[in-house]
Amino acid sequence: MPTITLSGAHRHPYHSVSSRDGDSFCLAFQPGALGLLTGQDLAPLTDRITDAVTWLPEEWHPFLAAVHAAPDHGARKALCVAFLTPRWGAVADRHAAWLQVLQQDWQRGARQALATTLGWTPRHLQRRTRQLVGLRPGEIERMLRAEHALLTMRDGDAGALDAALLHGYADQAHFSREARSLFERPPAALKAHAQQPGDDADWLLRRS
């Protein structure tokens, strides 16, 4: 495994294991953000993990090396903010229409508005989304809806039924099926597990 890895979008649950005496740092991008930042076609990365230095543009290499050499996570976060903030500002200027889609969690209405603004057919929007993220638009919306429903349970202490209805699921069973499909656990188990200290499982659902 490379020292600095880059993971593409994954359509199925997968697991990573870290050494207990190791020190890992993860920078997670919302769907579409990395593609807009680098201008790369991310479709070949779907369901893959590769060497970040080989894949990302050369101008990112000093940033990757600095994050790797940083003494602690606080320093790593500061490096990420310093490197990404001006670049994201440039993205906001160049791709304002795309940002509306990201900010609205890839919902159908936002995608349709983007296609109308840019004069794209639904097929072209689907193709561009695959290049930008590595997933179909509907797959992204589905994953984000499940994630936000789970975060409502975690941060708002909501039950599975309330979270399901708040995020547009037909019922609690529908939400439970989606959670099992994406995270291999029912919502209540994910909520309980994410609140337990120590174990790194489901760490993306934990508070930082």
Judge contact between 51 and 4, C-beta under 8 A: yes
CA distances from 207 to 31, 103, 165 (A): 19, 21, 23
- Residues 120-137 have pLDDT tens digits of 999 999 999 999 999 999
The percentage of the chain sitting over the pLDDT mark of 90, rounded to a whole number, equals 77
Q: Is the per-residue pLDDT at 14 higher than 80?
A: no
Per-residue pLDDT band at 193 (split at 50, 70, 90): confident
For residue 137, give the nearest of 170, 103, 108, 179 by alpha carbon: 108
The per-residue pLDDT for 199 is 53
How far apart CA 101 and CA 91 sit, in angstroms, is 13
Assess whether pLDDT exceeds 80 at residue 49.
Answer: yes
DSSP state of 5: E
Q: Domains plus CATH for the chain?
A: 5-10+24-104 (no CATH), 138-205 (1.10.10.60)
pLDDT tens profile 78-111: 999 999 999 999 999 999 999 999 999 999 999 9
What's the chain's average pLDDT?
Answer: 91
pLDDT band at 198 (very low <50, low <70, confident <90, very high): low
Whole-angstrom distance, CA of residue 140 vs CA of residue 90 = 24
Q: What would the mean pLDDT of 30-51 be, rounded to a whole number?
A: 97
- Res 4 pLDDT > 80: yes
Report DSSP state, residue 89: H
